Structure 1
């Protein structure tokens, strides 16, 4: 109780400082004049003073405690005209302004450097990368289609498991330990079975925050990382969009005003719709059959993604969004010898909700909120096996408040409530079935405070308290981020904290390839850890520690980040379950540590990015003999190297050329020790004769979990994009891409029964045509 009172006292003092600060407040939004879309992370300054701020993801800015007087407020960004307006500040006044930036041909490179430099010295950003649609298009477009799934593979600390069934593992964490958010709503599976593509439409993305470790208290119920995707609002001025087609998929996106503003910056109603559909299973055989398998038998992947959004914008910048989505994926696993179907896999995700942004007229605060419902179902049907099914459904609601201080400081606090219902019908390798249902309501409060001290030191403590009703457990989670600017070009940073979650997945450490990921909430049964002691909580828990140094040398940006994650408690399905009476779950732990070096160079037409990563991950659990065993999980890729180059060619910069090389050390896998025939002595009751019975083949696994290693992975991708200008607002883009240029045989998995190698995609050329209007 004393801790809670102390926290409330600190919060009260901070809010009081805002309420009774001297001078006036200038707040507002910055927009792109041509589309009405908010301009994020843009400098807003008072000319002739040192007072300034950057816009947030809503394009919002707030300059508090501005002394009385008349000022010129201005903002500018590379490729845009400078926007200026004169304002007069009186004591305790709150002035709201909207600024609009129009594009121009002459680039202001000095302004670009200033805006990026401001972000570096005023925000910690430890373990964090912000991505825009423009960044995504710097990558070679696999299949001619740019996608965030391809960009994430270059992010420091991210491990990608392959083109087919690919998943992303972020700094030692499994996919279920990474929170994926779309406009604040949880997405349980964002990547399709063909791992080159996500459910997100690239041109609908405003920004993506990739938080790889040490994330703040505004995020909860995940123990490794966060991927926060926010979409655009839709063009306020005209109907715009794109139509795209390739041998892999077709895409359509439309956006525009339903009710157009009567004046610039006035209230409006806009919409955004996107749809993409893959027909690769039909086209791969006819178009790519000449390249051999797996194209010859048809790549067994199909998906359809639908997303829609309506935005009601007010005169003062407040807005209300309604959105909905439906994502579907289907795949088949083929026999590596006969190329006949061994298994059918599908999942479907659907949901919808509302978000709002409110800026009260008499306050500098910004209020954000959301309420949504979503549902995810996944199913795997294997020949001669019991089908596996899982479902997650539930609601999420939240509201938070942000108050702004001088010199880029702020305080943010909020409340979250969510309810989940999970089902799981699962069968393990011993053919023991589990039929589980769980419900839980989670409530959380959090507060985060960022203080900048004279542009030298940034101190950002935060705290989250999360309550899990099904376990009757309150989880207090303190977190901290810091940065020290030795100079404007050399900066030290650090972050860390405690984390918890109650959502488990069914991935097995014995599966070399497993598309099926089921979900279930933490059990309420008694569990024991590897030392045989009963655990005090059935939550999965972890703590992070992250350090780093940023160095700018001319146009080169160097970042070195060592990191450490201690997954103190991992709850997973009992791999040693022999009988239905055995426990369904077991408790283990994990330790992940690594170091990532990133170097970026950007000048004029050339962009270069290189990332070298090293990590080591160890899990600990009880083996089949009751002994403690330490082993690497299937995604323990020790070395990972990514090199990216992009160049804008042509007098009009209407050619985009890009290349990427990825090299990764071998993944571990559990080796096969032998085979046996499984017989059912109860098949025909007392008439059963096992001597004449044809049993199925069972597999004897090696005692050492993941004791073997596959081969090294490396792949080289190229793409070239050409733009043909049709009019001011219309152009056609053609993209020629080649994935796996030198046709490297990267192992997907080894079929245990036939001992045959199954490879990732071979050389994969594609041509895409896109009409932008």
Structure 2
């Protein structure tokens, strides 16, 4: 502590002849000073430091200083001192004093003068107040690391740590703290600190843009497949027309055709929708959408990213003839509670996730229920006549996850399920009133463990499943019968991955699935198509047991930095009790070569097999159909990828898929073949071919907008036996011919764009175009031509299948508009998402009418059956 000093000039005299040595007292015979002596004046002070080892003492030190002609202190002598520690501090300080020198007769002279330092104990420092706090993003509660805090305009800020925390110690009083963070609006907070107080605060900064179009990619996998498109974050939830469901975005990808607008089961590269598999972290999802056109059966907040393989999927995807779609479950948050709730015109849902950091546990639950179906039922019921049945429709789903850290391993229990109901409930007051309906549901419980093993990473999984689809008959207040398809399954999977050398990686895997399926008939109702109960009919006492197992191996070889070679082999066994087994061996190869850092060539080929398929997954049917053998085909693809910039990618790919055996059934074929055990029925197998090419320009997440443009040219043919008809609608011949596949859409164009404006407004649009499917009569009407009956009157004659026309092309525009608000600790979103805001009517079939006019003549009329599929969604969502 710097202390006061006292200078006394009452005893001041010059030294003889300017000499700086000699006695410290005046000479006995001083000379008469002929000129006036001007004393020195202090030029630069040098306060003494209070000794730190002395507490509460005061004192004084008298010094005698020799100040030379330059004004510097040449000598320091202690005359008197209260304490030696004070004397030492005074001597040290006095050496650094500086004076304007004394003068005599105008000339500088050396003088001696007394100098006194007085020491007082320093005043105690003011007590500092501790200020703790965190800096977060307003609305999302996301911690802001490296945020800068400037105290009272000081030049040296304090920064927050990785968790957004900071600690300051400040004197009592009012302080202004300015907080700055990249991407956020700076803000100044004023705090009044009082002695003895410890204050904790939370500073929330307004983001410049809420949820900007950017994403943090964790553990991004190297692209080794020929065909893989990965979508994340807003690309999954903010695409117009998808109602926020990640799986619906697949309908806008290259290589994908559609059944109809709103029906989001993709027709991938000319295959049946059931030939494409949908997975959730390795779990096969049997039914993807409620009531075929409703929401997906998995809550969107559970999905972190989605991989779409339109062709050439890895060997880990088995028993598929088409593509693969896999959703990846979002990793659990490990720091704080997270919850969302939303409601719209279709359904409402909640998602809650609670971590327990002390035990390494995370619990997540989600559920949704539809009330729009109830509203539609109420509207329909108001139009019913008294005594008529009452329309009913509903659906719900659930997901629950518990994840636990066990050392370096992770264990997860995941359950999900879905239920749909649609039909007519009879009027209980009228005994003759009849009703019925369709109900579908499924449940999955999956236990998965991941852990380092043998220098690599191992995964084990066990899944229990239950699938149910039933037809219900009711009369009056009683249920008179139920026809149900039920299937229970147990599946297991294992995979081990290791990097053997820097250039070579290995993946080994195996999976098995045991299915026990049955057709159940209860009550007095008859099975579909039956006129009476027949104990010998296998439909009335059926059961099916099947075991499907497989193993696969895959190498990831990089012979040089520019080459990637991925050979793989998969082997599967399909066993249907009793004693029917089919084997399949599937070699596959994918090669990529980087010509430059931005331009990559890719190519691949492989074999693929799958059990017979019905249009969509139906419990029991795909197991029953194993008696018809396997479908088999190959996939060959090649293309180019060009990364123009960090956010712009261009790609093109051509494919050729020979299908040397297809068994693509409808429900009627399966039921009739099973009832008659195949006796007297034609072989349902055929052969086919699919080919085409795809183009895509994609602007990935970044800054204020994202989007893509995709074009697909798709051709798919089948060689089948068809009938020839004459002009009187008689079969005159039967030949084998090449016909267009029922789901073929030759040209498909999709444009998707979403832009985020200032003040957190979002506007997006999708434009979709496709050429119509063949009017083949399989899932739509059959083309007819004009003929003549025996009386010469015009009639409609069924067109031969290789000469059918196509449905009309279709153009659709979708729209999404949204506004987001940031509140203290949660965000609020309001959105309007409309499928087919352009109000276009899609032609799904034609009605061939034969009208007899008043004059007795006959007129033929062909009317298109149009359906304006418009799905508006107006909703709100709160996120905490």
Q: TM-score, normalised by structure 1?
A: 0.70
Q: Within 5 Å, which residues of 2 pair with 1:442-461? A: 442-461=548-567
Q: Distance in 2 between matches of 1:629 and 1:303?
A: 43
Say whether 1:270 aligns with 2:362. yes
> Structure 1, residues 112-160: CA drift from partner, whole Å, max 9, x if none?
89989x979x522321112234321230155xx3002331111111122
Task: For 1:407 and 1:79, locate their aligned partners in 2 and report how far apart those are by CA, in whole Å.
Answer: 39
CA distance in 1, matches of 2:501, 2:589: 21
- Higher mean displacement: 559-568 or 476-485: 559-568
Map 1:301-340 to 2 at 5 A.
302-316=394-408, 318-331=409-422
Q: Counterpart of 2:115?
A: none
Cross-structure match for 1:500: 609
Is residue 2:217 matched to residue 1:127? Answer: no
| Residue 701 of structure 1, CA deviation | 6.1
Q: Is the 8 A contact 1:300 1:333 kept in 2?
A: yes
- The match for 1:7 is none
Structure 1 stretch 247-256 or stretch 433-442: which is displaced more? 433-442
Q: Distance in 1 between matches of 2:757 and 2:357?
A: 38
Out of 469, 486, 495, the residue aligned to residue 595 of structure 2 is 486
Match of 1:664 in 2: 770
Contact 1:273 1:307 survives alignment (8 Å)? yes
Q: How does 1:684-699 map to 2 (within 5 A)?
A: none
2 CA distance for matches of 1:298 and 1:642?
40
Query: Counterpart in 2 of 1:731?
Result: 827
Contact 2:458 2:496 in 1 (8 A): yes
Per the alignment, do residues 194 and 583 of structure 1 end up closer, same or farther by CA in structure 2, a change over 3 Å counting?
closer
Structure 1: which 5+ residue stretches go unaligned?
1-33, 38-77, 81-102, 290-296, 335-339, 508-513, 528-537, 675-698
1:226 equivalenced with 2:226 (yes/no): no
Shift of 1:277: 1.4
Q: Which runs of 5+ in 2 are unaligned?
A: 1-138, 143-181, 185-204, 382-388, 426-432, 476-480, 521-526, 724-732, 785-795, 851-861
**Alpha-carbon distance between aligned partners in 1 of 2:873 and 2:292, rounded to the nearest angstrom:** 15
* Matched-pair contact (CA < 8 Å) for 2:562–2:595: yes
Is 1:420 aligned to 2:515, yes or no? Answer: yes
Q: Quote the offset at 1:558 in angstroms.
A: 0.6
2:315 corresponds to: 217
From 380, 403, 409, the counterpart of 2:498: 403
Equivalent position of 2:810 in the other structure:
713
In structure 1, distance between residues paired with 2:849 and 2:434: 15
CA 429–657 in structure 1, closer or farther in 2 if over 3 Å, else same = farther
In structure 2, the CA distance between the partners of 1:662 and 1:156, relative to structure 1 (3 Å rule), is same
Structure 2 partner of 1:206: 304
1:178 to 272, 276, 285: 276
Deviation sequence 1:516-566 (CA, Å, 0-9, x none): 7862326575x6xxxxxxxxxx21111111111011223531100111222
Superposition pairs of residues 112-151 of structure 1, within 5 angstroms: 122-142=222-242, 145-151=243-249
Q: What is residue 71 of structure 2 aligned with on the other side?
A: none
Contact 2:225 2:314 in 1 (8 A): no
**Quick check: 2:638–2:654 contact (8 Å CA) kept in 1?**
yes
CA gap 1:380/1:748 in 2 versus in 1, 3 angstroms: farther
How many residue pairs match? The answer is 604
1:233-257 residue CA offsets vs partner (Å, 9 max, x unmatched): 4332222111100111101111112
When residues 735 and 596 of structure 1 are mapped into structure 2, their CA distance, relative to the original with a 3 A threshold, is same
- 1:519 matches 2:615: no
Distance in 1 (CA, whole Å) between partners of 2:216 and 2:373 is 48
**Paired position in structure 2 for 1:559:** 651
- Does the CA contact (< 8 Å) of 2:287 and 2:617 recur in 1? no
Q: Bigger relative contact order, structure 1 or 2, given CA contacts below 8 A and separation 6+?
A: 1
Q: Does 1:348 align with 2:436?
A: no
Structure 2: distance between partners of 1:607 and 1:302: 35
Helix, strand or coil at the partner of 1:668 = coil
Contact 1:569–1:589 (Cα < 8 Å) also in 2: yes
Give the match's secondary structure for 2:622.
strand
Deviates further, 568-577 or 405-414: 568-577
CA distance in 1, matches of 2:266, 2:595: 35
Secondary structure of the residue aligned to 1:221 is coil
Is 2:876 the partner of 1:769? yes
Structure 1 residues 516, 354: CA separation in 2 closer, same or farther (over 3 Å shift)? closer
Residues 1:439 and 1:708: Cα distance change in structure 2 (over 3 Å): farther
Matching residue of 2:712: 613
Report the secondary structure of 1:149's partner residue.
helix
Contact 2:782 / 2:804 at 8 angstroms: preserved in 1?
no
Secondary structure of 2:449's aligned partner: strand
Distance 1:645 1:288 in 2: 37
C-alpha displacement of 1:281 = 2.5
**Whose radius of gyration is greater, 1 or 2?**
2
- Give the aligned CA root-mean-square deviation in angstroms: 4.2
Q: Determine the structure 2 residue equivalent to 1:157.
A: 255
CA distance in 1, matches of 2:696, 2:763: 21
Tell me the CA shift for residue 664 of structure 1: 0.8
- Alpha-carbon deviation of 1:604? 2.2
* Preserved CA contact (<8 Å) 1:163 1:760: no
Question: 1:406 deviation in Å?
Answer: 5.5
Contact 1:233 1:310 in 2 (8 A): no
Q: What SS class does the counterpart of residue 684 from structure 2 fall into?
A: strand
Do the aligned partners of 2:663 and 2:685 also contact (CA within 8 Å) in 1? yes
For the residues of structure 1 that align with 2:841 and 2:530, how far apart are their CA atoms?
29
Alpha-carbon spacing, 1:515–1:569, altered in 2? closer, same or farther (3 Å) = closer
Distance 1:466 1:772 in 2: 45
The DSSP-based 3-state class of the residue aligned with 1:469 is strand
Which whole-Å CA distance do the structure 1 matches of 2:709 and 2:593 have between them?
25
The answer (yes or no) to whether the contact 1:734–1:769 under 8 Å persists in 2 is yes
| SS state at 2:693 partner | strand
Report the TM-score, using the length of structure 2 for normalisation. Answer: 0.62
Contact 2:818 2:832 in 1 (8 A): yes
State the shift of 1:301 in Å. 5.6
Q: Is the 8 A contact 2:241 2:766 kept in 1?
A: no
Q: Give 3-state SS (helix, strand or coil) of 1:224's partner.
A: coil
Alpha-carbon distance change, 184 to 608 in structure 1, aligned in 2, over 3 angstroms: closer
Tell me the CA shift for residue 589 of structure 1.
1.6
**Residues 1:424 and 1:113: Cα distance change in structure 2 (over 3 Å):** closer
Cα shift readout 1:343-372 (whole Å, capped 9, x = no counterpart): 843311112120111124xx5310011001
Distance between the aligned counterparts of 2:746 and 2:876, measured in 1?
38
Corresponding position of 1:628: 736
Equivalent pair of 1:672/1:700 in contact (CA under 8 Å): no
Which residue matches 1:369? 460
Select 1:591's aligned residue among 665, 685, 689.
Answer: 689
- Supply the distance in 2 between the matched residues of 1:229 and 1:423 (Cα, whole angstroms): 30
2:754 alignment counterpart: 646
Partner of 2:744: helix, strand, or coil?
A: coil
Report deviation, 1:644: 0.6
CA contact (8 A) 2:818 2:829 kept: yes
Report the more deviating stretch, 189-198 or 171-180. Answer: 189-198
Say whether 1:637 aligns with 2:637.
no
